[in-house]
Structures are given as C-alpha cells and as structure tokens.
C-alpha cells in the first residue's frame, strides 16, 4: 500500500506539473514568445493559451504597452566647437514581438544608443545658438532619423522629447563673461553717444548764444546810430544841448558810484565844472545873458 500510495502521489504531482506547463494565462498588455525545442513556435496573446508540455517553453515575455526609455545626459560638440549637455526621453511601442526579440539583442539598449548617436550627429551640424533654440527641430529630425531602424526591430517610436539642452558649465562661464563684456561695451557706447550729444548740444548752444549776441550788438549799434542821428538832428550846431546831455550822464554815473556799498572814494572827472556849466547854461532861458 505504501508503494501504491507513493506512486499515486507521484502521478498526481506529474499531472499537476504537466497541466501547469501546458496552460498559460497571458495578462493584458503582454505577449509571450514560445519556442519549441529551441525554435520559434508562436506568440501567445493575452488570455488563456495552451502549450505542449516539456516541448514548448515561454522564452520571452514582452510588454506591448508604451515603453519609456530614458536617454542619459551626454556632451555634444556643436559646429562652432561649443560643448553642450543634452538628454532625451523616448516613447516606443513593440509592434512586432518576433523582430523585437530576434532582430536585435536588446531593443531598449539599441534604441538608447541609436538616439544618442543620432542626437550627437544632429546637434553637431548646428551652431550653439541654433541648437539651444531649436528643440522642436531637433526632436523632429531625431524621430525621423530613427524611424527606419526601429521598424526593422519591430518597434514604433511614438515620440522623442528633448528633456534638457544647455551649455556645459565651462561654456556657461564663458557665455556669462561674453555677455558681461557685451553689456560693458554697450554701456561704453551709450556713454560715448551721450557725451557726443552733450558736446554737440553745448556747441550748438554756444553758437546760438554767439549768434544772438551778435544780433543784439548789431541791434544796439543800429539803435545807437539811430539815436545819434536823431540827437544830431535835434541839436543842430549848438553845443549847449550836447553839454547838457553829457552833464546828465555824468551826474547819473556819479550817483551810481556813490550808492555802491563798496564805494569808499568817489572820483570826479576833471571837466566836471565845464559839464555842470552846460547844465546851468541850459537852465537859463534862451535870449538872457549867461
């Protein structure tokens, strides 16, 4: 009985293992590659599937949902020999599981390397400023360049996003120094332009002032000439009115000197007596003896 019991237990265990090897439940979002005696036999779809125990085996389990591949940061040299740092992220989907497992050793690593080398080639054709400002252009060219290779591997590249693209720390320092020098140059140009405009305005002001002074002197000269003509016409040949006018001016000038706070000594002209006599003579009515 003990031998029969043990044999029964062995048969049950063998049957259980056989059933377990022959029945496979594939979850949604996955596809399994089956090999029979080392050769590709078929692809198991999501749901209940049956295999031939001990002959068939599940060799690969693939995820058919979108796969996110992170491409690590790398240094790229632009066409003008500037070093920039860039990294990317790719969204891929397995469309042909057979090609994905038998067409390339590791499709994830293959896509990463392909994106890395293609990104380096694309950025290497650009100037620094163009590379920093053309993220969408780089993304479009990158996706287009790797599309053919990915199809051969049973993959579809749905999107490639440039996560970051920036100058290296040494390039950032150089750019900051260049920007500071450019700002200083612009400031110097602005100061020079301001000084130039100030000098021009000052020269124009002096020129306008000199022109106005000249016009004023001409006007004063003309007024003086007209005044002299009128005085000469009114006085005629008599010297007495002339002496009277000069006497008035002498007296006005002496009053101004005397009214000054700093005036200590008042100088009188030598011909004051003759001038005053002109005033007295003018004050005497015409026709009377002097």
Q: What is the pLDDT of residues 43-95, one digit of tens each?
A: 999 999 988 888 889 999 999 898 998 888 888 888 888 888 888 898 999 99
Residue 44, pLDDT score: 92
Q: Give the pair of three-digit tokens for residue 148.
A: 């053919």
Which residues 6+ apart lie within 8 Å of 238 measured at CB?
none
Residue 205, pLDDT score: 87
Mean pLDDT of 241-253: 65
Q: Which residues pair with 166 in a beta bridge?
A: 85
Task: Name the band, by pLDDT with cuts 50, 70 and 90, for residue 261.
Answer: low
Residue 35, pLDDT score: 92
Strand order in the sheet with 67-77: 67-77, 83-94, 155-167
Query: Is residue 188 packed enough to be buried (19+ CB in 10 Å), middle (13-18) or exposed (0-12)?
Result: exposed
Which residues 6+ apart lie within 8 Å of 47 measured at CB?
25, 26
Residue 33, pLDDT score: 93
Q: What is the pLDDT of residues 14-54, one digit of tens each?
A: 888 888 888 889 999 899 999 998 899 999 999 999 888 88
> Hey, how many other C-beta atoms are within 10 angstroms of the C-beta on 8?
10
Between CA 59 and CA 205 the distance in angstroms is: 95
Phi-psi region of 179 (alpha: psi -120 to 50; beta: other; left: phi over 0): alpha
Which residues 6+ apart lie within 8 Å of 175 measured at CB?
167
Q: What are phi and psi of 31, to 5 degrees?
A: -140, 140
Between CA 121 and CA 86 the distance in angstroms is: 12
* Residue 154: closest CA among 218, 206, 107: 107
Q: What are phi and psi of 47, to 5 degrees?
A: 120, -160
């Amino acid at each position: 009985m003990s031998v029969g019991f043990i044999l029964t237990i062995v048969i049950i265990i063998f049957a259980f293992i056989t059933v377990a090897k022959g029945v496979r439940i594939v979850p949604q979002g996955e596809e399994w590659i089956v090999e029979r005696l080392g050769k590709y036999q078929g692809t198991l779809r999501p749901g209940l599937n049956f295999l031939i125990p001990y002959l068939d085996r599940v060799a690969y389990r693939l995820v058919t949902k979108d796969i996110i591949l992170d491409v690590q940061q790398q240094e790229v040299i632009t066409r003008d020999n500037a070093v920039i740092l860039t990294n990317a992220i790719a969204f891929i989907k397995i469309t042909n599981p057979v090609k994905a497992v038998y067409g390339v050793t590791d499709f994830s690593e293959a896509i990463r390397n392909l994106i890395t080398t293609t990104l380096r080639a694309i950025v290497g054709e650009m100037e620094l400023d163009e590379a920093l400002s053309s993220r969408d252009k780089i993304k479009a060219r990158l996706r287009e360049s790797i599309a053919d290779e990915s199809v051969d591997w049973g993959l579809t590249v749905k999107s490639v996003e440039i996560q970051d693209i920036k100058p290296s720390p040494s390039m950032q320092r150089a750019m900051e120094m260049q920007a500071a020098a450019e700002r200083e140059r612009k400031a110097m140009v602005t100061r020079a332009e301001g000084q130039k405009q100030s000098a021009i305005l000052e020269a124009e002001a002096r020129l306008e002032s000199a022109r106005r002074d000249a016009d004023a002197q001409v006007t004063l000269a003309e007024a003086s000439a007209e005044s002299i003509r009128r005085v000469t016409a009114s006085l005629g040949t008599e010297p007495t009115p002339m002496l009277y006018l000069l006497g008035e001016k002498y007296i006005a000038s002496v009053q101004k000197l005397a009214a000054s706070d700093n005036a200590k000594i008042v100088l009188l002209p030598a011909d004051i007596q003759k001038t005053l006599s002109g005033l007295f003579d003018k004050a005497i009515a015409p026709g009377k003896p002097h």
